[in-house]
Amino acid sequence: MNKDCIFCRIVSGELPSETIYRDDEVIAFRDIHPQAPTHVLIIPREHIPAPADICAEHQSLIGRLVYVACDLAKSEGISESGYRLIVCSGPDSGQEVPHLHFHLIGGHRLGKLV
C-alpha cells in the first residue's frame, strides 16, 4: 500500500467509495466524475503505479482485472450494447492516479476515439 495513493486509501477503507465489487485481489467502484451513465474503475488491491510496472508475476492478476470488468459489464447491463475498457499509462495518456486501473465505460453511444 502506498499511503499517498488515493486508490490505496480506498482499498484500505480509509476513503469512501461506491464499491460494487470486491475480492482478495480486485476492487471496483463507481467513478466520482463519470464520463457516461456507467463508469466504473476496476483496480488491483496491490499498488502497481502503471501498466509499465506490470511484471511476469502479475499475469494472472491482469487476467482477473479483465475478467471482473467483463463480468461487471454484464451485471451493469452494457455488455450487449457495447462498452469501452480503457487503461491509461503515464501523464501524456491522461492517467491522473498513479495506480493501475481500468475504466469500464458505457451506457450510451460513445463517440469515436481520437
Residues known to be catalytic:
101
Tell me how far apart the terminal alpha carbons of the chain are, to the nearest angstrom. 34
Q: Are 48 and 8 in contact (CB under 8 A)?
A: no
Q: Tell me how far apart the alpha carbons of residues 37 and 53 are, in angstroms, rounded to a whole number.
A: 31
Give yes or no for a contact between 40 and 76, defined as CB atoms under 8 angstroms apart. yes
Cα separation, 78 vs 104, whole angstroms: 10
Q: How far, in Å, CA of 80 to CA of 52, rounded?
A: 31
